[in-house]
Structure formats: structure tokens, C-alpha cells
Structure 1
Amino acid sequence: MLKALIFDMDGILVDSMPFHAAAWKKAFFDMGMKIRDEDIYEIEGSNPRNGLPLLIRKALKDPDAYDFETITSIYRQEFKRIFELKAFDGMKECLEILKAHFLLSVVSGSDRLIVNGILDQLFPGIFDTVVTGDDVLNSKPHPDPFLKAVELLKVGKNECVVIENAVLGVEAAKRAEIYCIGVPTYVDPSKLDRADLIVGDHKKLMEHLLNLK
């Protein structure tokens, strides 16, 4: 029996990844490196501790030569400066209906301050548990963030569905042995082929979720 829905935040609840990408590109530029939007989208879901080495290698540099705290600090300042808060159309109303039938959770690789700030403004009182990049040592694609959410929700893995838009997020859900719905918000659908179900856009996602109740 389905008891809980576990949502990624960036790209599922909030149309925020273009701002994350712009902020990371600014941070890398300031440190003398160049990365592409596609590089950032492909490691979406990881926290800075795990994701930065991957991005620095994408820039053809040695991660050991850079201070992660400095890069992350520039990113946070730039993200705060440029970010425009916007939920996907209809998502808040959809979640309010779903909350009457399921436990709801967010699992995000972003910083706790960023995640809580966004959820408090756009979805106050909606989610029963929140797991951020600060709450686990191993971020997506490791299963740990989703297993942490299952533990906090006090349900079985077979009683949950994960909703993800990121390659690493889908990988993490499947490694956690949880059914996963993929939404190709920023990547080609073929990159989410490990998902149990791929829906084409947010309208189709919300229709599907509302039919689960």
C-alpha cells in the first residue's frame, strides 16, 4: 500500500536549476575555470562536497588544487543575488490535495538553509520530513538521502514513491530500491531510463500523482 511520496526539490517543485547553474558558473569563472549548464544538470542532486570534484574535473582541472569552501561561498552569494522564487504551476495545489492521502517528504542535495527557505515560502506546512545535502554524508547517487527519508517517515521502502528529475536522483532512488517516477525537466528523457516510469512534463506528473490517491 502506498503511504508516502518523496519529492526532489529543484526541477520538481521549484524551477530553480537555471539559477543554480548560473551561480556555479560564476563561481567557477571567478576561480579561473569554465563549465557548461549541461555539466551542472548532470550532477544535479549531489551536495557540494560530492559534486564539486566532478565539476572541477569537467573543467579539466585537479580538484585538490582548489578550496571547496571558497567556490561554494561564491556560489551561495551569487545564487542568493539572482534567484527568483517560482514553484511550477499547479504544484502547491496538487501537494495540498495529496497531503490528505499521503505522507510527503523532500529530499534535496542543496544546503539546508536554501531548502528550508524555499519550502517555508512556497510550501509552508506541506512536508512531513525534509532531508538536505547537510543531513547525509553521501549524497545522490548514493541511496543514503532516500533511505534517511524512509527512516524519518517510518514507512517501508515498498510503501514509497520517489519523484525525480535528475540522473543522480533516479540512480539514488533505484539503489535505495524505491519505485521512481522520472520527469525530464532539464535533461533528455533517455538519461532517466533507470526510472520505473517517465512522464513527459509537470502537467502529466500531477495528473498521475492525483490518480494515485
Structure 2
Amino acid sequence: MDTALILDVDGTLVDTTYHHAIAWYRAFAEVGVTVPVWRIHRAIGMGGDKLVSAVAGEEVEAAHGDRVRELWKAEADRLMPEVRTFDGAVELLDAAAEQDLPVVLASSGKPDHVDHYLDLLDGRRRAVAWTSSADVSETKPAPNLLDAAWEQAGTERALAVGDSVWDCDAAGGMGIPAVAVRTGGFGVEELTSHGARAVYDDLHQLRQDLPRLVGLATAPSPSGRDTRRSG
């Protein structure tokens, strides 16, 4: 089948959203900046290149951005052993294979974090390709990550699956449909208002609906693959 299933990883397949929120909170605290955890949570899903200014402002980005990102990485490293896959993640990957859907794991995580996730999911065997922050110059909600993932899939059509409004925004920027799971803590109306065609409480529900969802990708928008290929 000439449709790729582009799966977000952090917060969608592996339960990391709140680990990352705590890691960012601690990183900001190290430079003397207090950002409420709820505000950080609302930004999880966008890349670290955007998150600092989004939650703390441009002045903090200018003064401490790179240092905060370094500290976040160190804090996140310490939390990695606690990370687990969501129930249903492996089953979703296997169901995609049964339906001849090439899977690309579209992560903007650090390469070593992505390696850990691949180990948890046996992703090197279950996916045709995967991405990390090393593959893009700009992260979500910019569509670059999905662009890189779709390029690796080599298909005419694609369906994106994520857990945040930033995933939905990135898919919209690519002109491909998106569906979402609530594992990132976003509400149904939030996700649909950002373009999610369907929202599921968990990965088992999504997997059961996968045959129908693939049909969403049968009519890509004019801003889809041709525009993507032209740069």
C-alpha cells in the first residue's frame, strides 16, 4: 500500500510527556528561572529550539536558551530509565505491518533518546525508518520533521499520528491528515481544532480503527507531496 504511517514517538508511543516537563522545569530552575510545570506541559511536543522562548520569553532564550537545553538534556538522561512504552504501542506497529503500511517513527528527540525508544519498541525491526533531531534544522510545529519522515518512506500518501496540537499543526503544514491520541494530555476539542481528523483515548482504539483511517490519506491536499518535493 502506498501510504506511510508517520508516528510521533515521544508522548504517543512512549510515555515521556511528563518526564520531559519535569526535566525542563528543573533545567529552568538551574538558571534561576521559575516556569510553572503546567505551562511547560502545554508546550511539550514542540522542539527544544522553540520551547524556551515559548514558555519563558525571548529574553530568557537570549540569555539562557542554550544552557537550559543542555541542562534539560542532562535531566532527561537521568529520567530515561523510567520511560516505558504505552500499552498498545507494539500492537499498533504490528497491525500496520499486517496491513502493509510502512511505518516511520518521526521523533525530534535527541539521537541517544531515540535509540532508547527504538530498543523499547523493537523499532529497528518494526519500522522502515526513523528520525531524530539530527535530521532537521527546525522542529515542530514546523513541518520539517514530517517532511524528513515522509521522504524516507518514499510513498505517495501519508497519515500522521501524534499526541499534541504541535503534531497536528505540523501535519497541516505538510498537507497530510493527522489523527491524535490523548496520551499527551491535550483535550479532544483542542486537537480537533488544530486539524485532527479523529482523536482516541489510547493506542488500542486507534489500532482498531486503522483500516478506516488509512482511507483518510487517499486524497492528499494540493499542498501535499508535490509541494513538499519542490522544496
Distance 1:62 1:82 in 2: 25
Q: By how many angstroms is 1:148 displaced?
A: 1.4
Is 1:95 aligned to 2:96, yes or no? no
Aligned match of 2:178 in 165, 177, 180?
A: 180
Which amino acid counterpart does residue 207 of structure 1 have in structure 2?
A: Q
Query: What is aligned with 2:141?
Result: 141
Secondary structure of 2:108 counterpart: coil
The answer on whether the counterparts of 1:41 and 1:166 sit within 8 Å (CA) in structure 2 is no
Q: Aligned partner of 1:127: which letter?
A: A
Q: Contact (CA 8 Å) 2:95, 2:207: kept in 1 or not?
A: no
- Secondary structure of the residue aligned to 2:161 is strand
Equivalent position of 1:77 in the other structure? 74
Task: Provide the rounded CA distance (Å) in 2 between the counterparts of 1:37 and 1:115.
Answer: 24
Contact persistence 2:85–2:120 (CA under 8 A): no
For the structure 1 residues 212 and 171, does the alpha-carbon distance in structure 2 shift closer, same or farther, using more than 3 Å as the test?
Answer: closer
Contact 2:181 2:199 in 1 (8 A): yes
Unaligned runs of 5+ in 2: 215-231
Name the amino acid aligned to 1:98: A
What displacement does 1:122 show? 2.7
Whether 1:116 and 2:115 are equivalent positions in the alignment is yes
TM-score, normalized by length of structure 2?
0.82
Q: In proportion to residue count, which structure has more helix?
A: 2
Paired with 2:122 and 2:17, the residues of 1 have a C-alpha distance of 18
Residue ranges of structure 1 left out of the alignment (5+ in a row): none
Aligned residue type for 1:195: A
Task: Give the CA deviation at 1:46.
Answer: 2.5
Deviation of 1:114 after TM superposition, in Å, equals 0.8
Give the SS at the match of 2:178.
Answer: strand
Contact 1:147–1:176 (CA under 8 A) maintained in structure 2 = yes
Change (3 A) 1:91 1:211: farther
Number of aligned positions between the proteins: 208
Q: Secondary structure at the match of 1:151?
A: helix
1:192 shift after superposition: 0.8
Quote the RMSD (CA, aligned, Å): 2.0
- Cα-to-partner distance string for 1:74-110 (whole Å, 9 max, x where unaligned): 2122112223121111221331232232100111222
Assess, with a 3 A threshold, how the Cα gap between structure 1 residues 184 and 94 changes in structure 2: closer, same or farther: closer
Between the aligned partners of 2:11 and 2:72, the Cα distance in structure 1 is: 18
| Residue of 158, 161, 178 corresponding to 1:160 | 158
Q: Which amino acid aligns with 2:122?
A: F
Q: Deviations over 1:31-53 (max 9, x none)?
A: 11122333223322322222222
C-alpha distance in structure 2 between counterparts of 1:37 and 1:128, whole Å = 35
Query: How does 1:1-213 map onto structure 2 within 5 Å?
Result: 3-57=3-57, 61-66=59-64, 68-83=65-80, 84-100=82-98, 101-124=100-123, 125-156=125-156, 159-185=157-183, 186-193=185-192, 194-209=195-210
- Aligned partners of 2:12 and 2:163 also within 8 Å: yes
In the TM superposition, residue 165 of structure 1 has moved relative to its aligned partner by 0.7
Whether the 8 Å CA contact 1:25–1:35 is kept in 2: the answer is yes
Q: Structure 1 residues 203-212 or 68-77, which shifts more?
A: 203-212
Letter in 1 for 2:108: G
2:136 & 2:72 partners in 1: Cα distance?
21
Q: Deviations over 1:44-75 (max 9, x none)?
A: 23222222221222xx8532121x33212221
* Superposed displacement of residue 2, structure 1: 5.2
